[in-house]
Structure 1
Amino acid sequence: MFVVCGEALWDLFGGETSSGDLQFDARVGGSPFNVAVGVARLGKRSALLTGLSADSLGRRLHAALDREGVDTALLMTKQAPTTLSLVDLGPDGHPAYAFYGTGAADRALAAEDLPQLGEDVSGLHFGSYSLVTDSTGSSLLELAHREAGRRLITLDPNVRPTVEPDLALWRQRIAAFVKTADLVKVSVEDLETLYPGVAPAEIARCWLSTGAKLVVVTAGGQGAEAFTAAEHVRMPARRVDVVDAVGAGDTFQAALIAALLESGRLTGQAVAALDAEALSRLLDFAMAAAALTCARRGADLAYRAELPALDLEVH
């Protein structure tokens, strides 16, 4: 089982009625929530570790996880509200988010909430604003330090300055998580926000020198790159008629995790040993999954049956 750590919330897509009133289409979301669902849809066991509100929105999030087959044993019930995210889609389908979550349940995970993980847990994923919103962020960092080297650790910063505008805090906390991570997936947009003017390859080399075994940089319609200590590969994006890009990065991340689980590459050493051909196949698999999400409304993640067979054998 892969444990995904971080926020669960509701995305609200706004629109005007013919009479000029504002109405919302509410969808379950949050990057870690989506990744947990994505891993389950890709045929692998997943669980979500987060603070979840006891309110009606929190109960609906719990029910949605149950429907998707995500293990809910690690959800920590909190007497705090559920985060809401207002989503504004640009003409190219790229989303912009405004978060309403001060004092919300997904920011209230405490050190005493951290579980003792069983032998069936093969890895953990950390990401998004849960990295920097305390008490959740510091608690998850404690968990990452505790489990690093014992299980596969993956990370997606998924930077959200509208939640935490202090980029120095983001850089500090991400650097701390990178030291524990085997796989880091990050978007070009996040890198430009965090390190303006610095080439992605330079940042990837830095992260590889501090602990990461594989760094994947996504660039939307421009494709993706993968970096290890020995290899660098670049793959073009798949052509797709984009409805919106909500959840595409989360689908990509879930596909990376599911592919490593499917191939039994569950250690940092196994990830580092991927050759250029295997890395190309890994990127293509993840981009195929992300393309399916881009062709659908909202964070509607891919299912395993929609994707081709995968071979990550090193040749």
Structure 2
Amino acid sequence: MPTTGSTPVPAGPAGRALVVGEALIDTVRRTDGSVDEHPGGSPANVALTLGRLARDVELLTWIGEDAYGAMVRRWLEGSRVGLHLGSTGAPETSIATATLDASGTASYDFEIEWRLPHRIDVAPDTLVVHTGSLATALAPGADAVADLLAVQRRVSTVTFDPNVRPAILGHPLTAAPGVERFLMLADVVKVSHAGLAWLYPHRDPEVTAALWHKRSGAIVVLTRGADGASTWSAAGRVDVPGVPVEIADTVGAGDAFTGTLIDGLWSHDLLGAPRRAALLAIEPDLLRDVVARAVRAAAITTSRAGANPPRRAELDGPGPV
């Protein structure tokens, strides 16, 4: 891979990514009684992953001009993530509390307000727009995100991760239609096995993933944590095994997967509306390779505490994971 100084240069066309969604402060409560505060939010973690993979990425979010907002800005800047103009209009920065169980798995409670700035100017060279999580579930911002995607998909690939949070969504019967609205706007959907099991409790998640692909035409990627991932596309189903690793916690692993998935498609020139037909017709072996790399990124992230996705040299270099 070519390098500039010590930084590997990513493959694929020039352009940028826009990530739309919440950035907040994660308060993590561990089983030993310790409490940590650090910036997070699923879309913000996806942007962070792309920045660490040396992609040109901007986050469109809703944070305050307060101490927590300053913490979020410094965190993003440290991984080369820009902040879209107007993202600091919130009265205060939102907070999520993650409580870890003995296995390192997190459950969440939220104190969050979600809106979009009144004016949004998306750069014309934006190859991909990613969104999901609370940004596609909370009013009034969710409607504004859907409107933005409906316009922007004329230019950009759209990727979506519902990142299902029952504490926010309430009941599956009322939550599923909102998730499906964004499914129909997306070209690539990443969703966890646990998320689909909650949304559709009387149906096997694999059946739902296949139905989602058939209904929308999107590439659907179903993640299973340590057990790897499966995809459904025009070429059929592709399965990718997990990577054995000693788990510290699972915070941010799915977001590292998503960011790395986007990066892999970017490297193979499959992003941007003019490349939509090529993306949706991706060869199964290529899709398997892209997803396997995303599985590796998620495994690296679970091997250390907090949402700490790998940088490009770490992900693509030698190592046990």
Could you state the TM-score of these two structures normalised by the residue count of structure 2?
Answer: 0.88
Q: Aligned partners of 2:130 and 2:194: how far apart in 1?
A: 20
The alignment status of 1:82 with 2:87, answered yes or no, reads: no
The alignment status of 1:147 with 2:155, answered yes or no, reads: no
Matches within 5 A, 1:241-256: 241-256=246-261
- Divergent runs of 4+, >4 A: none
Q: Aligned partners of 1:175 and 1:165: how far apart in 2?
A: 16
1:148 CA drift (Å): 2.0
Instruction: Return the match for 1:9 from 20, 24, 32.
Output: 24
Instruction: Return the match for 1:49 from 40, 46, 60.
Output: 60
**Number of residue pairs the alignment of both structures matches:** 299
Q: Is the 8 A contact 2:62 2:93 kept in 1?
A: no
Indicate the SS of the match to 1:53: coil
1:166 CA drift (Å): 3.7
Q: Deviations over 1:58-99 (max 9, x none)?
A: 122112212211111345222422221111111211111111
Instruction: Return the match for 1:295 from 298, 303, 311.
Output: 303
Aligned amino acid, residue 303 of structure 1:
R
Aligned to 1:129: 134
1:196 CA drift (Å): 1.0
Aligned-residue CA RMSD in angstroms? 1.8
Q: Is the 8 A contact 2:234 2:281 kept in 1?
A: no
Structure 2 residue ranges without an equivalent (≥5): 1-15
The alignment status of 1:170 with 2:211, answered yes or no, reads: no
1:135 CA drift (Å): 1.4
Aligned amino acid, residue 233 of structure 1:
V
The alignment status of 1:38 with 2:41, answered yes or no, reads: no
Q: Aligned partners of 1:42 and 1:250: how far apart in 2?
A: 13
Aligned to 1:193: 198
1:23 CA drift (Å): 5.3
The alignment status of 1:224 with 2:229, answered yes or no, reads: yes
The alignment status of 1:96 with 2:107, answered yes or no, reads: yes
Aligned to 1:272: 280
Sequence identity (%):
31
Indicate the SS of the match to 2:167: coil
Indicate the SS of the match to 1:184: strand
Q: Is the 8 A contact 1:5 1:124 kept in 2?
A: yes
Q: Aligned partners of 2:183 and 2:133: how far apart in 1?
A: 13
Q: Is the 8 A contact 1:47 1:74 kept in 2?
A: no
Aligned to 2:3: none
Q: Aligned partners of 1:235 and 1:91: how far apart in 2?
A: 27
Q: Deviations over 1:219-256 (max 9, x none)?
A: 01111001102221111100000001100000000000
Aligned to 1:286: 294
Q: Aligned partners of 1:9 and 1:53: how far apart in 2?
A: 10
Q: Aligned partners of 2:262 and 2:156: how far apart in 1?
A: 13
Q: Is the 8 A contact 2:24 2:40 kept in 1?
A: yes
Matches within 5 A, 1:229-240: 229-240=234-245
Q: Is the 8 A contact 1:48 1:75 kept in 2?
A: no
Q: Is the 8 A contact 1:127 1:158 kept in 2?
A: yes
Q: Deviations over 1:258-285 (max 9, x none)?
A: 1111111113322222222112111110
